[in-house]
Chains A and B, each alone.
Chain A
Amino acid sequence: MNKILGKTYFSERVVKLEVEAPLIAKARRPGNFVIVRVGERGERVPLTIAGADTRRGSITLVVQVVGASSRKLCALEVGDHVTDLVGPLGKPTRVERVGTVLACGGGVGIAPLLPIAGAFKEAGNRVVSVIAARTREFIILEEEIRACSDEVIVMTDDGSYGNKGVITTGMEAVIVRERVELAVTIGPAIMMKFAAALTRRHAIPTIASLNALMVDGTGMCGACRVTVGGKTRFTCVDGPEFDAHEVDFDEMLARLDGLRDEERNKDITSV
């Protein structure tokens, strides 16, 4: 049981939670994630760690309400507890000094991008961040991203804030203008697919942090498998970050959708 220490609404459907987890706060590195479970019948849900405070012994998670489990989590108030929290999971980001890093985050993907962008900045890189969302209310953590970037480009699909257009428009503006050594992309799978296609054309090495479906998060089930460079890998233990140019995003998109029908039909038969 881990206590909720803080709760901030970024918008009606996007919530930042500060959760007590002293050991994870100490052990985590940028790129790591946790698995959270709410309620005795709850599902195990992976969430990338958006930040940590070792002094307060807490980590921050940013959650967007998309289904039953995220709704349960977002309904928790300060003083409530999550039933289970385990981590840090996955391999941390390999942070090196490479020159200019294009840090790209879409929607709630902006939250886990934050510690990674921060780490690249700290390692002495020039960091240009492109953050994108459907509409203004989903652009989150802009101030924090600004604090660890040399430049920030904001994109919204509907033009309600920043520049109008998708994330790749913002990325391309940077790529044609200056030399980029590395791109990092976190967000919806479809966004990462297009971001990867763009950087491949420009031959820019790119990391994608994948949000596969998971159960245990420790390599035990294979629910999280993805094809990378023609080989099957487990996102939870081999990733979550992979070479974006090698990831089979079409397969990944299909797998993310695979259980959707089952969720809807769940109450039809039961044991």
Chain B
Amino acid sequence: MEITSDRNEAWRKALRVAFPAKDRLAIERVTMPEVPPAERVKSQRVEVNKGVTPAMAQREARRCMDCVTPACMEGCPVGVDIPGFVKEIERGEFTRAAAVLKRASALPAVCGRVCPQEKQCEERCFLVQKLKKEAVAIGYLERFAADHERETGDAPLPESLPANGIRVAVVGSGPSGLSCAGDLAKAGFDVTVFEALHEIGGVLKYGIPEFRLPNRVVDAEIDQLRRLGVRFVTNYIVGMTGTLDDLRADGFRCFYISSGAGLPRFMNIPGENSNGILSANEYLTRVNLMGAGSVEADTPVYRGRHVVVVGGGNTAMDSARTARRLGAERVMIVYRRGEEEMPARVEEVKHAREEGCEFITLTNPMAYLADERRRVKQVIVQRMTLGEADESGRRTPVAVEGSEYALDTDMVIVAVGVSPNPIIPRSVPGLAVSRRGTIEVDPESMQTSVPDLYAGGDIVRGGATVILAMGDGRRAAQHICRRFSGT
């Protein structure tokens, strides 16, 4: 299906005429139906957001003014044609809406759920900028269109170019690798994705919990890639199980490295290796990937009654909410800046609060005390104030002398960021790597200093977002296509 979405098409004009701006502006922003907090904290797997109905979606789509120069699109890192898909929803062409989305985004059902819309497209919405109203719920609509397509089975298998016989290896099966693999398969390449873990999906599977992103949404994308002919090899660590040279010898002519930012950071403060203190990655992997917490799973996990989560990002919110679901009576989110500065999506902060998580902001851990069996029993924290803005524009927290106090706890989850996974940078001779350990690339082509190697996602950006990781994968795929065109 060739989808064009020109603002001047007759149907778009007709829609604009049919509803005057005044009527559009009178509509209130849709509220996402949610499972009530008391019920949802009983399950790790029940998705909190239930999704909007077709009627709700069409009504919400009507709030969009179909601006001449849609500022929302400038807020989207991959330039989704936002009015284009929203207006398809308004006129009831949901499958076409999904097709418009897929021109720019490989994973709309995922991005509709996890993108920080309030800092991207929705922040730029005309309704917010000019009228001080609530933005069009672009994220909800994106999710709606993508879910509708998946659930009705209307998704046509994208058309692929004839096979060109060129083998390309994708290293890592997170959002970046999956989108690169999809685009290359459609262009006729023979694509194999190598994944270190036993599951495909990267952070989408082992990190982000099912109450926010159900596995079936990710699996549907993976199935689609399989149908396009993409091969998946799990339990294969590139650089350990086999080297790039081994793969070159097997006939792979080009590589896309999307190995993510897997290495959890710790704060290196006294007592941090006590029992009951773990990284968010460890906690979430045990629960989400290994099923710890369910009776059947062999993998154990710490259970805390009074859980402290350190950090203010999505990972911290996911950990805190998971701890509630595993039975913690009290969950305290300790963050060194204020709530305004929290990098987490606003919706996650709201959901965490509704689920009874406490926010202890402008506070930073200094040390941990453990009992005689070395299990953590207290965290010593210090109050902070916000000082001057640093180069990133965020105000630097400054410790308040003499403000230390103790919080009683029996489990601590450290969610203070991740560093790039070092396995690939360490194993590829001649690969240019930054001081932070990220792989350096040409930002246009995503090509690294090794000519047959491209890279993108968190391994290039450090801990970033799904949409940026996805965008990198698509950009690299374009350049790989260009590189081999004419052969």
Could you list which residues of chain A lie within 8 angstroms of chain B, going by C-beta atoms?
23-24, 27, 37, 39, 41-44, 68-69, 72, 83-89, 215-216, 218-223, 225-227, 232, 237, 251, 254-255, 257-259, 262-263, 265-267, 269-271
Contacts and interface: CB of A to CB of B under 8 A. Distances in A.
B241 A23 contact: yes
Interface of B: 42-45, 196-198, 206, 234-237, 240-242, 262-264, 266, 268, 272-273, 275-276, 278-279, 281-282, 285-287, 290-291, 293-303, 325-327, 373-375, 421-423
A27 B336 CA distance: 45
A58 B120 CA distance: 51
B240 A27 contact: yes
A163 B368 CA distance: 45
A220 B263 contact: yes
A222 B285 CA distance: 11
A222 B242 contact: no
Of the candidates B236, B242, B298, B375, the one having the most CB atoms from chain A within 10 angstroms of its own CB is B298
Contacts of A27: 240-242
Nearest to A84: B198
B241 A43 contact: no
B370 to A, nearest CB: 9
B282 A215 contact: yes
A88 to B, nearest CB: 6
Contacts, number: 136
25 contacts: A27-B240, A44-B198, A84-B198, A87-B237, A89-B237, A89-B240, A216-B197, A218-B423, A220-B263, A220-B281, A220-B421, A221-B282, A222-B266, A225-B273, A232-B268, A251-B273, A258-B302, A262-B300, A262-B302, A266-B300, A269-B303, A269-B326, A270-B295, A271-B294, A271-B325
Contacts of B421: 218-220
Q: Identify the 3 closest CB pairs spanning chains A and B, nearest first.
A: A258-B275, A221-B282, A254-B374
A87 B235 CA distance: 8
Given A23-B241, A269-B326, A221 B300 contact: no
B34 to A, nearest CB: 19
Contacts of B423: 218-219, 237
A68 B44 CA distance: 24
Contact of A270 (B273, B293, B299): B293
Given A232-B266, A232-B268, A254-B374, A86 B196 contact: yes
Of the candidates A43, A85, A255, the one having the most CB atoms from chain B within 10 angstroms of its own CB is A43
A225 B287 CA distance: 19
B285 A68 contact: no
A225 B282 CA distance: 11
Nearest to B46: A271
A221 B290 contact: no
A69 B278 CA distance: 22
A86 B239 CA distance: 12
A271 B45 contact: yes
A88 B240 contact: yes
A23 B236 CA distance: 9
Given A232-B272, A258-B275, A269-B303, A86 B198 contact: yes
A44 B42 CA distance: 26
B263 A271 contact: no
B273 A271 contact: no
A255 B423 CA distance: 25
B165 to A, nearest CB: 24
B261 to A, nearest CB: 10
Contact of B300 (A23, A86, A263): A263
A259 B303 CA distance: 10
A258 B375 contact: yes
Contacts of A219: 262-263, 421-423
Contacts of A262: 300-303
A255 B294 contact: no
Contact of B281 (A42, A221, A254): A221
A43 B373 CA distance: 25
B264 A221 contact: yes
A114 B106 CA distance: 50
